[in-house]
Chains A and B, each alone.
Chain A
């Protein structure tokens, strides 16, 4: 049984996008539960991939193809999930208004998904109103704000202020990131945390959830 899970995990780490489906089907045929395939093979594989990315052992192409490989496996098991999938929590991410950069945000989203979070990506050029509406609607564990420009990073503070105005600030943890952002800026605008790169964002998100046990059922989008 462990052998099947190891093969799936290794397929993600070695970017074997064509082989992984066969490994997953073999695991299912051997009676391995879908939850175990997700939690003990895929999530653990992405944990290895994330750490390798953070340490500079692998780079953006390998991270992206590992995520595609994981998604190919998820497509096989999804129809067999008995109920909603369990996650550590829900994270809403987006690039703030006036800013169209998305690669950094996307990498954070991929790594959070791989680490067991449900990610709702609002895209780029998202205004404060929309962030707050989505927080109200989905009640995420974490709201992640991205900005790549000196001129757009103050918008992160505006999102936090609007959350306060709407009485939603205590409903979610706010984390921020992007090239011009630093810890001092994050503290200054009242964010709950700052991450310099995608791997650090995952570690931060894990620290900010109340427990490492699975908390949330999948949010219906």
Chain B
């Protein structure tokens, strides 16, 4: 029987583990409370402040209840945007970097070499790592660029003010590069890179723009990673898959079911990259029953699990509106059907 860490590193290495691993990059405190039956646990952090990056993303106690194989700590760059909290979720409502004059905001990025920023992560790992795979979540700069500019302004600027976009991307990616160099001095096992670039039916920007604006910055940051990395995007990123694999990441997550066909992804790229996902959030985990959740997990493991290179996960994360009973059912189905050999 493998440890959680061995299981995940094995599957990311293209080998077959003892069972399909399960990772989540974020589990809300509400779901954790539902699983644990009480509120007295070490909690996840919801949002970050510009001057204090770093968020705990998995309440570690849930690993006593469900067979989740990871814990996760987020060290993404700050974003310069107005936000509003509504319905338990924090939304970015307006980017604050619109012109070259606004670039001075980036001068307030905190020093990524400040050892103080890594203390919380250090404690989290020391106290709760156990045999889990410890994920360091970092961004390469793309999502912080469009969130700080506003998505529409970012898109328009790609055509009308490309140099401004490149400058912002460069600033965030330089920050992340230093974070990557620092954070891997801690005993993290892998990186998770949530830099969403997909829309419902296609990538947000063209493959050419992706290559021109994003790939060089992403490559610079990913090349510095001395641990395996998983790239995450919502939406449809099928037209970008060759470029994403070319960046050297070992996995792709979370394969949103409404936007991507995970079986097609497995067929086209499953021998070159590990697929992470994609238990439905829109209905199954949030509004479905434990029976429906278990059935979807069984179907997914049967379809994508054979041959390895598959990690079970939700289609994004486990936010507050997910039913704890369904998360529990996900784990039960995994333990029942997820051991190799899978038929």
Contacts and interface: CB of A to CB of B under 8 A. Distances in A.
Q: Does B bind A?
A: yes
Interface in A38-59: 54, 56, 58-59
A62 B87 contact: no
B156 A100 contact: no
Given A58-B206, A98-B87, A100-B84, 15 more contacts: A15-B159, A17-B160, A61-B206, A61-B209, A64-B155, A65-B160, A100-B91, A103-B151, A103-B152, A150-B283, A150-B287, A151-B87, A180-B258, A196-B201, A197-B199
Given A179-B258, A180-B258, A180-B282, A61 B158 contact: yes
Interface residues of A, number: 29
Interface residues of B, number: 33
Contacts of B233: none
A180 B322 CA distance: 14
Contacts of B91: 100-101
Interface of A: 15, 17, 54, 56, 58-62, 64-65, 68, 98-101, 103-104, 106, 125, 149-152, 179-180, 182, 196-197
Interface of B: 84, 86-89, 91, 93, 151-152, 155-156, 158-160, 199-206, 209, 239, 256, 258-259, 281-283, 286-287, 321
A152 B200 CA distance: 18
User: What are the 3 tightest A-B residue pairs by CB atom distance, in nearest-first order?
Assistant: A180-B282, A100-B91, A61-B155
B200 A98 contact: no
Contacts of A59: 202-206, 209
B258 A61 contact: no
A197 B200 contact: yes
A65 B209 contact: no
A56 B156 contact: no
Nearest to B207: A59
A197 B258 CA distance: 12
Main secondary structure on chain A at its contact with chain B?
loop
Nearest to A53: B202
A57 to B, nearest CB: 9
B159 A61 contact: yes
7 contacts: A59-B206, A61-B159, A64-B155, A68-B156, A99-B86, A151-B321, A197-B200
Given A150-B286, A152-B87, A64 B156 contact: yes
B12 to A, nearest CB: 28
Given A98-B87, A151-B87, A179-B258, A61 B205 contact: yes
A45 B200 CA distance: 24
Given A15-B159, A104-B200, A196-B200, A179 B206 contact: no
A30 to B, nearest CB: 29
A93 B152 CA distance: 18
A68 B205 CA distance: 17
A149 B152 contact: no
Contacts of B199: 60, 197
Contact of B202 (A17, A56, A68): A56
Nearest to B85: A100
Contact of A100 (B86, B256, B281, B321): B86
Contacts of B321: 149-151
A154 to B, nearest CB: 10
Contacts of B160: 17, 65
Contact of A179 (B86, B87, B200, B204): B200
Contacts of A98: 86-87
Contacts of B200: 104, 179, 196-197
Nearest to A153: B282
B260 to A, nearest CB: 12
Contact of B201 (A15, A62, A150, A197): A197
B160 to A, nearest CB: 7
B252 to A, nearest CB: 19
Nearest to B89: A149
Contact of B156 (A58, A61, A125, A151): A61
Contact of A150 (B151, B205, B281): B281
Contacts of A104: 200
B136 to A, nearest CB: 28
Contacts of A54: 201
